[in-house]
Amino acid sequence: MTITADLSRCVGAGQCVLTEPRLFDQDPDDGTVVVLDHEPPADLVEAAHEAARLCPSRALAVAVAT
Ligand code: SF4
């Protein structure tokens, strides 16, 4: 699984950080998302999908390797 963030869409709402702080942080300057682990372990897959689903600007993409 790979997490990517489109910073041009991110509005810095921080919902992803609230959802899973082990995967996401926010830039201290502008609040945009910082992906802490682009290829997280299996036990965080559901949390990554949840964060992407809850992101108000659809800035997060979670791609599952095939
Ligand atoms: S929830 Fe979406 S818009 Fe908000 S900080 Fe995270 S990626 Fe950016």
Better-predicted residue by pLDDT, 66 or 53: 53
Question: What band does 65 get if pLDDT is binned at 50, 70 and 90?
Answer: confident
For ligand 1, atom 2, name the residue with the nearest CA.
55
Cβ distance 2 to 36 under 8 Å? Answer: no
Q: Which residue from 3, 16, 24 has its CB within 8 A of the most atoms of ligand 1, so it is best to mutate?
A: 16
State yes or no: pLDDT of 55 exceeds 80. Answer: yes
Which atom, in ligand 1's list, is nearest to the CA of 19? 1
* Cβ(32)–Cβ(23) below 8 Å: no
pTM for the whole thing?
A: 0.93
